[in-house]
C-alpha cells in the first residue's frame, strides 16, 4: 500500500525551496510547467509596459508580474500565478507590498498562452480568478494574436488584432488596440 502524499497549504507552498521550474499549487498539489519561451516573455513585458504607462503616472495601483501568487481556493489550497496582475490602491494600499501573497485578489489577471497550455486549463484558471473577486481576466493568445476577456457577470469576449481592448478594471479610459500587445 502506497501512502498518500499530504496536500500542501498555500503557506507551505510559499516556503518550498526554489526548484528552478515554474509551478502552481492546484488543490494542494504542486504542478510544474514549462519555463516560458522568449515570445511569452516579450508579450508579458509589453503588457506590463502598456498598462504601466497609464497606471504609474496616475498612481492608480500596483502591477505585479512573474507569476505573483493569488490564492484561488482553500481546503485544499490552490495558488495560481498570473503572468501579470493589477491591484488598484482601493484593494491594496500604496507602498511596499508584503512578502508572501497579497491579502486580496487583484482587479485584473492577465495570462499569456503558451503552446503547451490546454484551453480547458486556461478556462478553469480564469474561472478560479473570477470566483475570488478578480473583475477581469485577460488571456492573450500569441498564435492567433487574439484576446479573450472573462468577466464575472457577462459572457466572455473574444477580440482579434484589429479590435480594441477596454480594461475598465484598471480605468475608464484604459484602452488598447489588441495588436499593440503582440508588436
Local confidence band at 104 (pLDDT 50, 70, 90 cut-offs): very high
What per-residue confidence (pLDDT) applies to 154? 94
Q: Which fold has domain 38-69+81-182?
A: tt1808, chain A (3.90.1570)
Q: What is the mean pLDDT of residues 44-53?
A: 97
Q: What is the mean pLDDT of residues 87-99?
A: 95
The answer to whether the pTM exceeds 0.85 is yes
Predicted confidence (pLDDT) at residue 1 exceeds the cutoff of 70: no
pLDDT tens digits, 12-23: 999 999 888 899
Q: What is the mean pLDDT of residues 176-180?
A: 98
Sequence ranges of the domains in the chain: 38-69+81-182
Local confidence band at 126 (pLDDT 50, 70, 90 cut-offs): very high
Provide the grid cell at 4: 498518500
> Which of residues 34 and 144 earns the better pLDDT score?
144
Amino acid at each position: 500500500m502506497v501512502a498518500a502524499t499530504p496536500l500542501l497549504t498555500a503557506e507551505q507552498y510559499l516556503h518550498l525551496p526554489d526548484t528552478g521550474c515554474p509551478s502552481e499549487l492546484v488543490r494542494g498539489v504542486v504542478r510544474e510547467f514549462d519555463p516560458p519561451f522568449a515570445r511569452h516573455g516579450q508579450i508579458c513585458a509589453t503588457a506590463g509596459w502598456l498598462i504601466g504607462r497609464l497606471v504609474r503616472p496616475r498612481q492608480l495601483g500596483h502591477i505585479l508580474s512573474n507569476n505573483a501568487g493569488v490564492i484561488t481556493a482553500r481546503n485544499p489550497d490552490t495558488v495560481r500565478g498570473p503572468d501579470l496582475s493589477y491591484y488598484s490602491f482601493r484593494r491594496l494600499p500604496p507602498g511596499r507590498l508584503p512578502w508572501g501573497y497579497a491579502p486580496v485578489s487583484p482587479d485584473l489577471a492577465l495570462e499569456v498562452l503558451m503552446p503547451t497550455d490546454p484551453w480547458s486549463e486556461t478556462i478553469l484558471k480564469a474561472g478560479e480568478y473570477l470566483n475570488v473577486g478578480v473583475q477581469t481576466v485577460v488571456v492573450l493568445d500569441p498564435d492567433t494574436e487574439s484576446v479573450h476577456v472573462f468577466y464575472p457577470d457577462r459572457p466572455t469576449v473574444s477580440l482579434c488584432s484589429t479590435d480594441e481592448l477596454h480594461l475598465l478594471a484598471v480605468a475608464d479610459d484604459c484602452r488598447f488596440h489588441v495588436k499593440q500587445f503582440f508588436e
